[in-house]
Structure 1
Amino acid sequence: MSEKRKQVLNVAEQLFYTYGFHGVGLKQIVNEANVATMTLYNHFSSKNKLVEEAIKNREERYWAYICSVSEDYSNDTFVRIAQLHGAFLKEVSPQGCMFLRAIEVYQDTDKDIADIAIKHKSKVLQYFEKLAICNNIKDYKNFAYEFLLIIEGATSMTQITDPTQATEHAITMTKALQSNFLT
C-alpha cells in the first residue's frame, strides 16, 4: 500500500469515526491528509469506496490488537482479550463502535458497506468460538456469544463512562462467565 493511500485511509477513518460518515466531506479529508484531490481519486473512485476501505482499515487495526493472544490458549485467554479490547477502546475507539455505526448508517443505502461491518462482527464471533474450542469449553457457541455480548457491552458503555471503567467491568464479567462455563 502506498504511503499516500495509507495516509488518506488513516485520516478518513479517524474523521469518519469522529464526525460521522455523512459529517465529513472529501474536501476535508484531502485537506487533513495533505494530499491533492487527484491523489484521493487515484486511490478511491468514490466516497463510498473510501468508507469501505476505511472500515476495512479499522478492522485490520482491531485484529492487530486482539490476535496477539491467538497462540495463548490458557484460562486467561478471554480475560486477556477483554484487556486488549479495552486498550483498543481507549486508544482507538473511545466513543463507541465504528462498525455498528456503519451498519446503522448504510444498511438501507449501501449494502456493501453494511456487509463489511456485519462480516467483521461475524468474524469476531467465529474467532471467539475457535478460542473457546481450544480452551476445551464444551458449550463453545453459547460461551462465545455471551463473551461477545460482554465485549460489545463494554464498547457501548464507553459512550456513558470511560474505556478504563468499561474494561474493568468487562474483565469482571469475563471471569464470571469463564467460571460458569468451566465448572
Structure 2
Amino acid sequence: MLKEQIASSLEREFSEFGFAEPSVAQLKVACGVSLRTLYKHYPSKEEMIVGALQHRHQRYLAFLLADVPETGIHSLKHIFTKLGVWMKEYAPHGCMSMNALAAFPENDFIYQAVKSHKKDVQRFLGEQSVRPDLSTQLFLLHEGVSSAWPVIGEQALDAAQHTIIKLLSEN
C-alpha cells in the first residue's frame, strides 16, 4: 500500500515538473516519506520514474474503461472523448510516457516500461473497437492526439474522432 502511495506521489511530481527537474530530495518531500523508505521501494531515480509510469498506466486504462458503453464505434467515441478529458485534466503537456522517453532516451529500463504501456494501449484499442486488425491505426490516432494536444488541443481530438468514424465505416 505504501509503495502505491509513493508511486502516486511520484506520478504527480513528474507530471507537474518533468523528469529532469525534481531531485530525489524533492521527490522524498513530495512523497512524505524518508529517503530510506523511498529508496527501499524505488532504489534509483530511474526506478522511481518507472514506478510512476506504471502507476499512471493503470490509472489511465481504468479512466478510459470507466463507463464505456459497449464495444465498437460507440466505445471508441467514448474512449477518445475521455482521452480529451485526460489531456485537459492530467496531461496538458502531452504524454508522460513519451516525455520520460525523451528525457532518458538511452535508458532501457524506462524504454521497456514505455513500450509495454504503448503495446497495452494498442491492444486495448483493438479490443474495444472489436477490430484488432485496425489496432495500429487506432493507436496512431490516439498517439497523435496525445502528441499534438499541447499545440492544437481539441482540434487534434476532433480530427481523430472524425478519422475513426471514417476508418470504421470504410472497413
TM-score w.r.t. the length of structure 2 is 0.87
RMSD across aligned positions (CA): 2.1
Distance 1:114 1:177 in 2: 30
2:162 aligned with 1:172, yes or no?
A: yes
Q: Structure 2: how far apart are the matches of 1:74 and 1:124?
A: 16
- Aligned to 2:73, the other structure's residue is in SS state coil
**In structure 2, how many angstroms separate the alpha carbons of the residues matched to 1:7 and 1:68?**
22
- Paired position in structure 1 for 2:127: 130
Which one of the candidate residues 91, 94, 97 is aligned to 1:96? 94
Give distance in 2, aligned partners of 1:159 and 1:67.
24
String of CA shifts for 1:80-127, please: whole Å, max 9, x gaps: 11111112111211111111122233341x211110101111111122
Distance across 1 between alignment mates of 2:151 and 2:72: 32
Q: 1:158 aligns with which of 136, 149, 153?
A: 149
CA contact under 8 A between 1:125 and 1:145: conserved in structure 2?
yes
Q: Using the alignment, how far apart are the partners of 1:75 and 1:49 within structure 2?
A: 38
One of 21, 28, 35 as aligned partner of 1:23: 21
Consecutive unaligned residues in structure 2, runs of 5 or more: none
Distance 1:78 1:43 in 2: 37
Aligned to 1:42: 40
Structure 1 runs not aligned, ≥5 long: none
Find the aligned partners of 2:19 and 2:48 in 1 and give their Cα distance. 10
After TM superposition, what 4+ stretches of structure 1 lie above 4 angstroms from structure 2?
none
TM-score by length of 1: 0.82
Bigger mean CA offset, 167-176 vs 110-119? 167-176
- How much has 1:165 moved relative to structure 2? 4.0
Q: What pairs up with 1:46-125 in 2 under 5 angstroms?
A: 46-68=44-66, 72-108=70-106, 110-125=107-122
Q: Distance in 1 between matches of 2:49 and 2:13?
A: 11
**Inter-partner Cα distance in structure 2 for 1:161 and 1:100:** 18
1:36 CA drift (Å): 2.2
